[in-house]
A and B are shown apart, each in its own frame.
Chain A
Amino acid sequence: MDPMQPVLELRRIVRDYPGHRAVDHVSLALEPGEFYSLLGPSGCGKTTTLRIVGGFERPDAGDVLLAGAIVNELKPWQRDVSTVFQNYALFPHLSALGNVEFGLRERGVPGRRDRALRALDLVRLADKRDRRPAQLSGGEKQRVALARSLVLEPKLLLLDEPLAALDPALRKQMRAELKAMQRKTGITFLFVTHDQEEALSMSDKVAVMNRGAIEQFGTPEEVYLRPATRFVAGFLGAINWFGQAGVRPESTRLAREKPEGLPCRRAAVESSLFLGNCVHVNAALDDGGRAIAEIPREQNHFREGEIVWMHWDPAAELRFE
Protein backbone atom coordinates (compact mmCIF):
# COMPACT_ATOMS: atom_id res chain seq x y z
CA MET A 1 0.00 0.00 0.00
CA ASP A 2 1.16 3.51 -0.80
CA PRO A 3 2.22 4.90 2.59
CA MET A 4 0.87 8.33 1.69
CA GLN A 5 -2.47 6.97 0.60
CA PRO A 6 -5.11 8.77 2.72
CA VAL A 7 -6.66 6.54 5.37
CA LEU A 8 -9.92 8.35 4.85
CA GLU A 9 -11.01 10.56 2.05
CA LEU A 10 -14.33 12.38 1.87
CA ARG A 11 -15.29 13.75 -1.54
CA ARG A 12 -17.98 16.42 -1.57
CA ILE A 13 -20.22 14.67 0.97
CA VAL A 14 -23.78 15.95 1.26
CA ARG A 15 -26.35 14.84 3.79
CA ASP A 16 -29.84 16.36 3.86
CA TYR A 17 -32.28 16.19 6.73
CA PRO A 18 -35.87 17.35 6.41
CA GLY A 19 -35.65 21.14 6.38
CA HIS A 20 -31.90 21.55 6.51
CA ARG A 21 -28.61 20.37 5.05
CA ALA A 22 -26.59 18.76 7.83
CA VAL A 23 -23.46 18.18 5.77
CA ASP A 24 -22.75 20.50 2.86
CA HIS A 25 -20.10 19.32 0.37
CA VAL A 26 -17.50 18.25 2.89
CA SER A 27 -14.16 17.13 1.49
CA LEU A 28 -11.35 15.91 3.69
CA ALA A 29 -8.30 13.67 3.43
CA LEU A 30 -6.66 12.11 6.49
CA GLU A 31 -3.11 10.75 6.39
CA PRO A 32 -2.01 7.66 8.29
CA GLY A 33 -0.88 7.90 11.89
CA GLU A 34 -2.09 11.40 12.67
CA PHE A 35 -4.47 12.83 15.25
CA TYR A 36 -7.28 14.81 13.66
CA SER A 37 -10.11 16.78 15.19
CA LEU A 38 -13.43 17.79 13.74
CA LEU A 39 -14.31 20.90 15.70
CA GLY A 40 -17.50 22.91 15.63
CA PRO A 41 -20.54 24.05 17.61
CA SER A 42 -23.38 21.62 18.24
CA GLY A 43 -25.50 21.14 15.14
CA CYS A 44 -22.65 21.98 12.75
CA GLY A 45 -22.74 18.52 11.16
CA LYS A 46 -19.63 17.04 12.74
CA THR A 47 -21.37 14.07 14.33
CA THR A 48 -23.32 13.39 11.13
CA THR A 49 -20.04 13.41 9.21
CA LEU A 50 -18.60 10.91 11.68
CA ARG A 51 -21.68 8.67 11.36
CA ILE A 52 -21.31 8.72 7.59
CA VAL A 53 -17.71 7.54 7.92
CA GLY A 54 -18.79 4.82 10.37
CA GLY A 55 -21.52 3.65 7.99
CA PHE A 56 -24.48 4.51 10.23
CA GLU A 57 -25.77 7.08 7.77
CA ARG A 58 -25.56 7.23 4.00
CA PRO A 59 -24.45 10.36 2.21
CA ASP A 60 -27.02 11.79 -0.21
CA ALA A 61 -24.16 12.73 -2.52
CA GLY A 62 -20.40 12.33 -2.60
CA ASP A 63 -18.03 9.45 -1.87
CA VAL A 64 -16.42 8.00 1.24
CA LEU A 65 -13.08 6.31 0.59
CA LEU A 66 -11.22 4.16 3.10
CA ALA A 67 -7.63 3.32 2.05
CA GLY A 68 -8.50 4.38 -1.49
CA ALA A 69 -11.62 2.24 -1.93
CA ILE A 70 -15.13 3.68 -2.15
CA VAL A 71 -17.15 2.29 0.77
CA ASN A 72 -20.47 4.13 0.30
CA GLU A 73 -22.35 0.83 0.10
CA LEU A 74 -20.57 -0.99 2.93
CA LYS A 75 -22.37 -1.63 6.22
CA PRO A 76 -20.74 -0.61 9.51
CA TRP A 77 -19.58 -4.18 10.20
CA GLN A 78 -17.84 -4.33 6.81
CA ARG A 79 -15.71 -1.22 7.37
CA ASP A 80 -12.22 -1.20 8.85
CA VAL A 81 -13.02 1.66 11.20
CA SER A 82 -14.18 1.64 14.79
CA THR A 83 -16.08 4.17 16.88
CA VAL A 84 -15.83 5.25 20.50
CA PHE A 85 -19.31 6.52 21.29
CA GLN A 86 -20.12 9.53 23.39
CA ASN A 87 -21.96 7.49 26.02
CA TYR A 88 -19.43 4.63 25.55
CA ALA A 89 -22.23 2.17 24.58
CA LEU A 90 -20.69 -0.66 26.59
CA PHE A 91 -22.73 -3.87 26.63
CA PRO A 92 -24.25 -3.98 30.12
CA HIS A 93 -24.57 -7.78 30.25
CA LEU A 94 -20.88 -8.39 29.48
CA SER A 95 -17.82 -7.89 31.67
CA ALA A 96 -15.06 -5.45 30.70
CA LEU A 97 -13.21 -8.39 29.14
CA GLY A 98 -16.39 -9.60 27.42
CA ASN A 99 -16.85 -6.16 25.91
CA VAL A 100 -13.30 -6.09 24.58
CA GLU A 101 -13.62 -9.64 23.19
CA PHE A 102 -16.91 -8.87 21.45
CA GLY A 103 -15.47 -7.48 18.23
CA LEU A 104 -12.74 -10.12 18.04
CA ARG A 105 -15.37 -12.84 18.28
CA GLU A 106 -17.60 -11.24 15.66
CA ARG A 107 -14.67 -10.83 13.29
CA GLY A 108 -13.39 -14.33 13.99
CA VAL A 109 -9.94 -13.20 15.12
CA PRO A 110 -7.88 -16.07 16.60
CA GLY A 111 -6.30 -15.83 20.05
CA ARG A 112 -8.90 -13.41 21.22
CA ARG A 113 -8.49 -13.89 24.98
CA ASP A 114 -4.79 -12.90 24.82
CA ARG A 115 -5.44 -9.95 22.55
CA ALA A 116 -8.28 -8.71 24.74
CA LEU A 117 -6.17 -8.99 27.88
CA ARG A 118 -3.34 -7.08 26.21
CA ALA A 119 -5.77 -4.33 25.18
CA LEU A 120 -7.12 -4.07 28.74
CA ASP A 121 -3.53 -3.91 29.94
CA LEU A 122 -2.87 -1.06 27.53
CA VAL A 123 -5.63 1.00 29.18
CA ARG A 124 -4.51 -0.18 32.66
CA LEU A 125 -7.70 -2.07 33.45
CA ALA A 126 -6.38 -5.62 33.55
CA ASP A 127 -7.36 -5.91 37.22
CA LYS A 128 -10.97 -4.91 36.50
CA ARG A 129 -11.57 -7.28 33.61
CA ASP A 130 -14.43 -9.11 35.33
CA ARG A 131 -16.36 -5.98 36.30
CA ARG A 132 -19.63 -5.16 34.58
CA PRO A 133 -19.91 -1.65 33.06
CA ALA A 134 -22.25 -0.64 35.91
CA GLN A 135 -19.41 -1.31 38.36
CA LEU A 136 -16.92 0.93 36.53
CA SER A 137 -16.35 4.67 36.92
CA GLY A 138 -16.85 7.09 34.02
CA GLY A 139 -13.15 7.17 33.20
CA GLU A 140 -12.88 3.38 33.36
CA LYS A 141 -15.87 2.93 31.05
CA GLN A 142 -14.21 5.33 28.68
CA ARG A 143 -11.04 3.23 28.69
CA VAL A 144 -12.93 -0.03 28.15
CA ALA A 145 -14.66 1.57 25.16
CA LEU A 146 -11.26 2.62 23.85
CA ALA A 147 -9.76 -0.85 24.40
CA ARG A 148 -12.77 -2.46 22.71
CA SER A 149 -12.10 -0.44 19.56
CA LEU A 150 -8.28 -0.48 19.62
CA VAL A 151 -8.10 -4.26 20.02
CA LEU A 152 -9.46 -4.56 16.47
CA GLU A 153 -6.49 -2.54 15.17
CA PRO A 154 -8.66 -0.45 12.83
CA LYS A 155 -7.13 1.81 10.20
CA LEU A 156 -9.13 4.67 11.62
CA LEU A 157 -10.61 5.31 15.04
CA LEU A 158 -13.61 7.63 15.27
CA LEU A 159 -14.22 9.32 18.62
CA ASP A 160 -17.55 11.08 19.14
CA GLU A 161 -17.07 13.63 21.96
CA PRO A 162 -15.70 10.86 24.18
CA LEU A 163 -14.66 13.22 26.97
CA ALA A 164 -17.89 15.19 27.21
CA ALA A 165 -19.37 13.01 29.96
CA LEU A 166 -16.29 13.18 32.23
CA ASP A 167 -15.64 15.72 34.98
CA PRO A 168 -13.19 18.52 34.11
CA ALA A 169 -10.11 17.19 35.95
CA LEU A 170 -10.47 13.73 34.45
CA ARG A 171 -11.14 15.25 31.05
CA LYS A 172 -7.77 16.98 31.04
CA GLN A 173 -6.00 13.81 32.13
CA MET A 174 -7.76 11.76 29.40
CA ARG A 175 -6.63 14.27 26.76
CA ALA A 176 -3.03 13.38 27.46
CA GLU A 177 -3.85 9.67 27.62
CA LEU A 178 -5.71 9.70 24.31
CA LYS A 179 -2.89 11.53 22.60
CA ALA A 180 -0.31 9.10 24.04
CA MET A 181 -2.48 6.15 22.96
CA GLN A 182 -2.67 7.50 19.43
CA ARG A 183 1.12 7.87 19.24
CA LYS A 184 1.69 4.42 20.71
CA THR A 185 -0.70 2.58 18.38
CA GLY A 186 -0.07 4.65 15.26
CA ILE A 187 -3.79 4.42 14.43
CA THR A 188 -5.31 7.50 12.80
CA PHE A 189 -7.72 9.20 15.22
CA LEU A 190 -10.62 11.38 14.09
CA PHE A 191 -11.86 13.14 17.18
CA VAL A 192 -15.15 15.03 17.17
CA THR A 193 -15.55 17.81 19.71
CA HIS A 194 -17.12 21.19 20.32
CA ASP A 195 -14.35 22.10 22.81
CA GLN A 196 -11.68 24.18 21.07
CA GLU A 197 -9.17 23.64 23.87
CA GLU A 198 -9.47 19.87 23.44
CA ALA A 199 -9.05 20.10 19.69
CA LEU A 200 -6.11 22.50 19.84
CA SER A 201 -4.24 20.62 22.55
CA MET A 202 -4.47 17.11 21.10
CA SER A 203 -4.56 17.40 17.33
CA ASP A 204 -1.99 17.37 14.58
CA LYS A 205 -4.63 18.98 12.39
CA VAL A 206 -8.04 20.48 13.07
CA ALA A 207 -11.00 20.77 10.69
CA VAL A 208 -13.27 23.57 11.88
CA MET A 209 -16.89 23.01 10.85
CA ASN A 210 -19.76 25.46 10.71
CA ARG A 211 -23.23 24.97 9.22
CA GLY A 212 -22.33 21.68 7.60
CA ALA A 213 -19.18 22.89 5.89
CA ILE A 214 -15.49 22.83 6.77
CA GLU A 215 -14.34 26.45 7.11
CA GLN A 216 -10.67 25.70 7.71
CA PHE A 217 -8.43 22.65 7.86
CA GLY A 218 -4.99 23.18 9.34
CA THR A 219 -2.63 22.72 12.26
CA PRO A 220 -3.75 24.11 15.65
CA GLU A 221 -1.31 27.02 15.21
CA GLU A 222 -2.68 27.82 11.77
CA VAL A 223 -6.34 27.82 12.76
CA TYR A 224 -5.69 29.80 15.95
CA LEU A 225 -3.12 32.30 14.68
CA ARG A 226 -4.30 32.60 11.07
CA PRO A 227 -8.02 31.83 11.08
CA ALA A 228 -9.46 31.75 7.57
CA THR A 229 -12.86 33.18 8.49
CA ARG A 230 -14.49 35.35 11.13
CA PHE A 231 -16.30 32.27 12.39
CA VAL A 232 -13.06 30.33 12.93
CA ALA A 233 -11.47 33.33 14.64
CA GLY A 234 -14.41 33.67 17.03
CA PHE A 235 -14.90 29.97 17.67
CA LEU A 236 -11.27 29.17 18.48
CA GLY A 237 -10.99 31.68 21.27
CA ALA A 238 -12.12 35.08 22.43
CA ILE A 239 -11.55 37.91 19.99
CA ASN A 240 -11.97 41.69 20.18
CA TRP A 241 -13.35 43.44 17.14
CA PHE A 242 -11.82 46.88 16.59
CA GLY A 243 -13.58 47.86 13.38
CA GLN A 244 -12.44 45.37 10.72
CA ALA A 245 -9.50 44.18 12.77
CA GLY A 246 -9.76 41.26 15.15
CA VAL A 247 -7.32 41.08 18.07
CA ARG A 248 -7.00 38.27 20.61
CA PRO A 249 -7.31 39.36 24.26
CA GLU A 250 -3.72 38.24 24.97
CA SER A 251 -2.52 40.64 22.25
CA THR A 252 -4.57 43.52 23.59
CA ARG A 253 -2.76 45.93 25.94
CA LEU A 254 -3.99 48.61 28.31
CA ALA A 255 -2.51 52.06 29.02
CA ARG A 256 -3.59 55.22 30.86
CA GLU A 257 -1.87 57.50 28.31
CA LYS A 258 -2.64 57.35 24.61
CA PRO A 259 0.22 55.31 23.09
CA GLU A 260 2.19 56.87 20.25
CA GLY A 261 2.29 55.20 16.82
CA LEU A 262 0.08 52.21 17.70
CA PRO A 263 -3.52 51.48 16.76
CA CYS A 264 -5.71 52.09 19.81
CA ARG A 265 -9.24 52.65 21.12
CA ARG A 266 -10.54 54.61 24.09
CA ALA A 267 -12.53 52.52 26.57
CA ALA A 268 -13.96 52.51 30.11
CA VAL A 269 -13.03 49.64 32.44
CA GLU A 270 -16.16 47.72 33.47
CA SER A 271 -14.77 44.87 35.52
CA SER A 272 -11.71 42.73 35.96
CA LEU A 273 -11.77 38.97 36.45
CA PHE A 274 -8.98 37.32 38.39
CA LEU A 275 -8.12 34.02 36.68
CA GLY A 276 -5.13 32.97 38.78
CA ASN A 277 -2.34 33.20 36.24
CA CYS A 278 -3.72 36.35 34.60
CA VAL A 279 -6.47 38.94 34.75
CA HIS A 280 -9.22 39.61 32.20
CA VAL A 281 -10.10 43.30 32.09
CA ASN A 282 -13.49 43.92 30.45
CA ALA A 283 -13.95 47.36 28.96
CA ALA A 284 -16.68 49.26 27.09
CA LEU A 285 -15.45 50.90 23.89
CA ASP A 286 -16.53 54.42 22.95
CA ASP A 287 -18.25 53.06 19.83
CA GLY A 288 -20.49 50.86 22.01
CA GLY A 289 -18.60 47.58 21.58
CA ARG A 290 -16.88 45.57 24.29
CA ALA A 291 -13.37 44.20 24.50
CA ILE A 292 -11.25 42.07 26.81
CA ALA A 293 -7.57 42.53 27.62
CA GLU A 294 -5.71 39.60 29.13
CA ILE A 295 -2.89 41.08 31.21
CA PRO A 296 -0.42 39.76 33.80
CA ARG A 297 -1.72 39.84 37.34
CA GLU A 298 0.90 42.34 38.57
CA GLN A 299 -0.03 44.86 35.84
CA ASN A 300 -3.65 45.09 36.92
CA HIS A 301 -3.72 48.53 38.50
CA PHE A 302 -6.89 49.63 36.66
CA ARG A 303 -10.02 50.59 38.56
CA GLU A 304 -13.61 50.11 37.48
CA GLY A 305 -14.91 53.14 35.58
CA GLU A 306 -11.42 54.33 34.69
CA ILE A 307 -10.83 55.60 31.13
CA VAL A 308 -8.05 53.63 29.42
CA TRP A 309 -6.52 53.14 25.99
CA MET A 310 -6.66 49.66 24.48
CA HIS A 311 -3.84 49.20 21.99
CA TRP A 312 -2.17 46.42 20.07
CA ASP A 313 0.63 45.55 17.71
CA PRO A 314 -0.64 45.78 14.09
CA ALA A 315 1.09 42.45 13.39
CA ALA A 316 -1.36 40.77 15.79
CA GLU A 317 -4.38 41.91 13.79
CA LEU A 318 -6.57 39.28 12.15
CA ARG A 319 -8.26 40.58 9.03
CA PHE A 320 -10.98 38.99 6.91
CA GLU A 321 -12.56 39.94 3.60
Chain B
Amino acid sequence: MKGRALGIYAGMAIAFLHAPLAILVAFSFNSGRFTVWQGFSLHWYRAAMLDPQLSEGLINSVVIALFASVISTVIGTMAAYGIWRRSAPVLSGTLYLSLVTPEIVTGVSLLALFEWAFRFLHLQLGLYTVVIAHVAFSIAYVTIVISARLRGYDRTLEEAAMDLGASQWRAFSRVTLPAIAPAIAAAGLLALVVSFDDYVITSLVAGVDSETLPMVIYAMARRGVSPVVNAVSALIVVAFGAIVLISQRLQAR
Protein backbone atom coordinates (compact mmCIF):
# COMPACT_ATOMS: atom_id res chain seq x y z
CA MET B 1 0.00 0.00 0.00
CA LYS B 2 2.70 2.38 1.13
CA GLY B 3 4.85 1.41 -1.87
CA ARG B 4 2.06 2.13 -4.32
CA ALA B 5 1.32 5.54 -2.77
CA LEU B 6 4.97 6.43 -3.04
CA GLY B 7 5.01 5.22 -6.64
CA ILE B 8 2.07 7.44 -7.54
CA TYR B 9 3.69 10.39 -5.79
CA ALA B 10 6.95 9.81 -7.63
CA GLY B 11 5.10 9.51 -10.94
CA MET B 12 3.34 12.83 -10.35
CA ALA B 13 6.57 14.53 -9.39
CA ILE B 14 8.28 13.30 -12.55
CA ALA B 15 5.29 14.34 -14.65
CA PHE B 16 5.31 17.79 -13.09
CA LEU B 17 9.04 18.14 -13.79
CA HIS B 18 8.97 16.90 -17.34
CA ALA B 19 5.46 17.59 -18.68
CA PRO B 20 6.49 20.89 -20.28
CA LEU B 21 9.34 19.18 -22.13
CA ALA B 22 7.10 16.29 -23.18
CA ILE B 23 4.52 18.69 -24.59
CA LEU B 24 7.20 20.67 -26.38
CA VAL B 25 8.65 17.55 -27.98
CA ALA B 26 5.20 16.24 -28.89
CA PHE B 27 4.11 19.45 -30.60
CA SER B 28 7.41 19.72 -32.45
CA PHE B 29 6.08 16.77 -34.49
CA ASN B 30 2.65 18.37 -35.00
CA SER B 31 1.79 19.16 -38.60
CA GLY B 32 -0.36 22.14 -37.58
CA ARG B 33 0.81 25.54 -36.41
CA PHE B 34 -1.29 25.69 -33.23
CA THR B 35 -1.51 23.63 -30.06
CA VAL B 36 -4.10 21.30 -31.48
CA TRP B 37 -2.84 17.90 -32.66
CA GLN B 38 -3.29 17.64 -36.44
CA GLY B 39 -1.03 14.72 -37.31
CA PHE B 40 2.62 13.72 -37.35
CA SER B 41 5.07 15.71 -39.43
CA LEU B 42 8.77 16.58 -39.60
CA HIS B 43 7.85 19.85 -41.30
CA TRP B 44 9.02 22.09 -38.45
CA TYR B 45 12.37 20.33 -38.25
CA ARG B 46 12.89 20.99 -41.96
CA ALA B 47 11.88 24.63 -41.46
CA ALA B 48 14.31 24.94 -38.56
CA MET B 49 17.20 23.56 -40.62
CA LEU B 50 16.49 25.97 -43.45
CA ASP B 51 16.16 29.07 -41.25
CA PRO B 52 19.29 31.23 -41.88
CA GLN B 53 18.98 33.06 -38.57
CA LEU B 54 18.79 29.84 -36.61
CA SER B 55 21.80 28.34 -38.36
CA GLU B 56 23.84 31.49 -37.85
CA GLY B 57 22.85 31.49 -34.17
CA LEU B 58 23.80 27.83 -33.88
CA ILE B 59 27.22 28.40 -35.46
CA ASN B 60 27.88 31.38 -33.15
CA SER B 61 26.78 29.39 -30.10
CA VAL B 62 28.96 26.41 -30.99
CA VAL B 63 32.02 28.55 -31.71
CA ILE B 64 31.57 30.50 -28.47
CA ALA B 65 30.93 27.36 -26.42
CA LEU B 66 34.01 25.59 -27.80
CA PHE B 67 36.38 28.51 -27.19
CA ALA B 68 34.87 29.37 -23.80
CA SER B 69 34.89 25.78 -22.53
CA VAL B 70 38.46 25.04 -23.62
CA ILE B 71 39.83 28.28 -22.16
CA SER B 72 37.86 28.03 -18.90
CA THR B 73 38.81 24.36 -18.50
CA VAL B 74 42.52 25.19 -18.78
CA ILE B 75 42.26 28.12 -16.35
CA GLY B 76 39.90 26.29 -14.00
CA THR B 77 42.14 23.21 -13.85
CA MET B 78 45.15 25.35 -12.97
CA ALA B 79 43.10 27.18 -10.35
CA ALA B 80 41.85 23.96 -8.75
CA TYR B 81 45.36 22.51 -8.73
CA GLY B 82 46.80 25.67 -7.19
CA ILE B 83 44.10 25.79 -4.50
CA TRP B 84 44.77 22.11 -3.76
CA ARG B 85 48.54 22.55 -3.52
CA ARG B 86 48.36 25.44 -1.11
CA SER B 87 44.99 25.94 0.51
CA ALA B 88 43.63 29.33 -0.54
CA PRO B 89 40.44 29.94 1.46
CA VAL B 90 39.81 33.43 0.07
CA LEU B 91 40.12 32.27 -3.53
CA SER B 92 37.90 29.22 -2.99
CA GLY B 93 35.34 31.44 -1.26
CA THR B 94 35.18 33.84 -4.21
CA LEU B 95 34.46 30.87 -6.50
CA TYR B 96 31.18 30.23 -4.73
CA LEU B 97 30.50 33.98 -4.72
CA SER B 98 30.76 33.98 -8.49
CA LEU B 99 28.32 31.03 -8.65
CA VAL B 100 25.65 32.77 -6.57
CA THR B 101 25.98 36.20 -8.19
CA PRO B 102 22.75 36.84 -10.18
CA GLU B 103 23.45 36.55 -13.90
CA ILE B 104 22.05 39.97 -14.58
CA VAL B 105 24.58 41.47 -12.17
CA THR B 106 27.43 39.53 -13.77
CA GLY B 107 26.22 40.63 -17.21
CA VAL B 108 25.92 44.29 -16.32
CA SER B 109 29.30 44.32 -14.58
CA LEU B 110 31.00 42.68 -17.58
CA LEU B 111 29.34 45.20 -19.88
CA ALA B 112 30.62 48.01 -17.66
CA LEU B 113 34.11 46.49 -17.81
CA PHE B 114 34.03 46.27 -21.62
CA GLU B 115 32.71 49.82 -22.00
CA TRP B 116 35.51 51.03 -19.75
CA ALA B 117 38.14 49.08 -21.69
CA PHE B 118 36.82 50.37 -25.02
CA ARG B 119 37.76 53.90 -23.97
CA PHE B 120 41.39 52.83 -24.32
CA LEU B 121 41.13 50.17 -26.99
CA HIS B 122 39.38 50.90 -30.24
CA LEU B 123 37.22 47.83 -30.15
CA GLN B 124 33.55 47.02 -29.92
CA LEU B 125 31.30 44.24 -28.68
CA GLY B 126 31.46 41.07 -30.73
CA LEU B 127 31.84 37.30 -30.50
CA TYR B 128 35.05 37.62 -28.51
CA THR B 129 33.38 39.64 -25.74
CA VAL B 130 30.84 36.83 -25.37
CA VAL B 131 33.71 34.32 -25.16
CA ILE B 132 35.45 36.39 -22.46
CA ALA B 133 32.19 36.69 -20.50
CA HIS B 134 31.51 32.96 -20.73
CA VAL B 135 35.05 32.12 -19.65
CA ALA B 136 34.59 34.42 -16.67
CA PHE B 137 31.52 32.64 -15.34
CA SER B 138 32.49 29.08 -16.39
CA ILE B 139 35.77 29.05 -14.46
CA ALA B 140 33.92 28.67 -11.17
CA TYR B 141 32.05 25.56 -12.39
CA VAL B 142 35.21 23.97 -13.74
CA THR B 143 37.25 24.72 -10.63
CA ILE B 144 34.60 23.31 -8.30
CA VAL B 145 34.23 20.06 -10.26
CA ILE B 146 37.99 19.47 -10.41
CA SER B 147 38.52 20.52 -6.78
CA ALA B 148 36.04 17.83 -5.72
CA ARG B 149 38.13 15.26 -7.53
CA LEU B 150 41.40 16.50 -6.05
CA ARG B 151 40.01 16.35 -2.51
CA GLY B 152 40.17 12.57 -2.68
CA TYR B 153 43.55 12.52 -4.42
CA ASP B 154 46.58 11.29 -2.51
CA ARG B 155 49.20 13.99 -2.12
CA THR B 156 52.03 11.49 -1.70
CA LEU B 157 51.60 10.30 -5.31
CA GLU B 158 53.28 13.48 -6.55
CA GLU B 159 55.95 13.17 -3.90
CA ALA B 160 56.57 9.58 -4.99
CA ALA B 161 56.94 10.73 -8.60
CA MET B 162 59.44 13.42 -7.60
CA ASP B 163 61.26 10.92 -5.43
CA LEU B 164 61.65 8.67 -8.49
CA GLY B 165 63.19 11.49 -10.51
CA ALA B 166 60.28 13.45 -11.98
CA SER B 167 60.43 17.24 -11.77
CA GLN B 168 57.43 19.04 -10.31
CA TRP B 169 55.95 19.61 -13.76
CA ARG B 170 56.58 16.00 -14.85
CA ALA B 171 55.02 14.73 -11.61
CA PHE B 172 51.92 16.78 -12.39
CA SER B 173 51.67 15.84 -16.04
CA ARG B 174 52.49 12.14 -15.68
CA VAL B 175 50.75 11.28 -12.42
CA THR B 176 48.22 13.89 -11.33
CA LEU B 177 46.87 14.80 -14.76
CA PRO B 178 45.95 11.20 -15.71
CA ALA B 179 44.31 10.77 -12.32
CA ILE B 180 42.06 13.82 -12.71
CA ALA B 181 41.54 13.56 -16.48
CA PRO B 182 37.94 12.26 -16.20
CA ALA B 183 37.05 15.19 -13.95
CA ILE B 184 38.67 17.61 -16.40
CA ALA B 185 36.65 16.17 -19.27
CA ALA B 186 33.45 16.34 -17.22
CA ALA B 187 34.20 19.93 -16.21
CA GLY B 188 34.84 20.84 -19.86
CA LEU B 189 31.47 19.40 -20.91
CA LEU B 190 29.77 21.26 -18.08
CA ALA B 191 31.40 24.49 -19.24
CA LEU B 192 30.22 23.72 -22.78
CA VAL B 193 26.64 23.33 -21.56
CA VAL B 194 26.52 26.44 -19.37
CA SER B 195 28.05 28.49 -22.18
CA PHE B 196 25.61 27.23 -24.79
CA ASP B 197 22.71 27.73 -22.40
CA ASP B 198 23.39 31.29 -21.31
CA TYR B 199 21.01 34.02 -22.42
CA VAL B 200 21.08 36.88 -19.90
CA ILE B 201 24.80 37.64 -19.83
CA THR B 202 25.21 36.89 -23.54
CA SER B 203 22.46 39.25 -24.63
CA LEU B 204 24.16 42.08 -22.72
CA VAL B 205 27.68 41.62 -24.07
CA ALA B 206 26.98 40.30 -27.61
CA GLY B 207 27.72 42.52 -30.59
CA VAL B 208 25.18 43.07 -33.36
CA ASP B 209 26.77 40.36 -35.50
CA SER B 210 27.03 37.79 -32.73
CA GLU B 211 23.52 36.62 -31.91
CA THR B 212 23.61 33.18 -30.26
CA LEU B 213 21.02 30.43 -30.67
CA PRO B 214 19.23 31.21 -27.37
CA MET B 215 18.99 34.86 -28.46
CA VAL B 216 17.48 33.90 -31.83
CA ILE B 217 15.01 31.52 -30.18
CA TYR B 218 14.05 34.16 -27.63
CA ALA B 219 13.38 36.69 -30.36
CA MET B 220 11.29 34.16 -32.32
CA ALA B 221 9.31 33.14 -29.25
CA ARG B 222 8.49 36.78 -28.53
CA ARG B 223 7.10 37.25 -32.01
CA GLY B 224 4.60 34.47 -31.31
CA VAL B 225 4.77 30.76 -30.66
CA SER B 226 6.24 29.05 -33.68
CA PRO B 227 6.52 25.25 -33.85
CA VAL B 228 10.01 25.88 -35.30
CA VAL B 229 11.04 26.91 -31.80
CA ASN B 230 9.65 23.62 -30.49
CA ALA B 231 11.66 21.64 -33.00
CA VAL B 232 14.92 23.46 -32.23
CA SER B 233 14.33 23.13 -28.50
CA ALA B 234 13.68 19.41 -28.82
CA LEU B 235 16.99 18.97 -30.67
CA ILE B 236 18.82 20.93 -27.98
CA VAL B 237 17.27 18.77 -25.24
CA VAL B 238 18.48 15.59 -26.94
CA ALA B 239 21.99 16.92 -27.57
CA PHE B 240 22.37 18.24 -24.03
CA GLY B 241 20.93 15.09 -22.51
CA ALA B 242 23.65 13.13 -24.26
CA ILE B 243 26.39 15.51 -23.08
CA VAL B 244 25.19 15.40 -19.47
CA LEU B 245 25.09 11.59 -19.56
CA ILE B 246 28.66 11.43 -20.85
CA SER B 247 29.76 13.93 -18.24
CA GLN B 248 28.20 11.90 -15.41
CA ARG B 249 29.83 8.71 -16.67
CA LEU B 250 33.18 10.49 -16.68
CA GLN B 251 32.74 11.85 -13.17
CA ALA B 252 31.81 8.44 -11.83
CA ARG B 253 35.11 6.97 -13.07
Interface residues of A (CB under 8 A from B): 54-56, 75-77, 81-83, 85, 87, 89-93, 102-103, 106-107, 148-149, 152
Contacts and interface: CB of A to CB of B under 8 A. Distances in A.
Contacts of A103: 164-165
A190 to B, nearest CB: 14
B165 A89 contact: no
Contacts of A91: 157, 160-161, 175
A152 B159 contact: no
A187 B139 CA distance: 49
Contacts of A107: 164-165
B18 interface: no
Given A82-B164, A102-B161, A89 B156 contact: yes
Contacts of B163: 54, 76-77, 81-83, 149
Given A76-B162, A102-B164, A106-B161, 16 more contacts: A54-B163, A75-B168, A77-B167, A83-B159, A83-B160, A85-B159, A89-B159, A91-B160, A91-B161, A93-B178, A93-B179, A102-B161, A106-B165, A106-B174, A107-B164, A148-B164
Nearest to B171: A77
A106 B168 CA distance: 12
Contacts of A54: 163
Interface string B148-159: 000000101101
A56 B167 CA distance: 13
B157 A76 contact: no
A148 B167 CA distance: 17
Nearest to B156: A89
B166 A89 contact: no
B170 interface: yes
A81 B160 CA distance: 12
A92 B179 contact: yes
Contact of B166 (A56, A77, A81, A92): A77
Contacts of A55: 162
A106 B170 contact: yes
A87 B154 contact: yes
B33 to A, nearest CB: 56
Contacts of B162: 55-56, 75-77
Contacts of B154: 87, 89
A319 B153 CA distance: 50
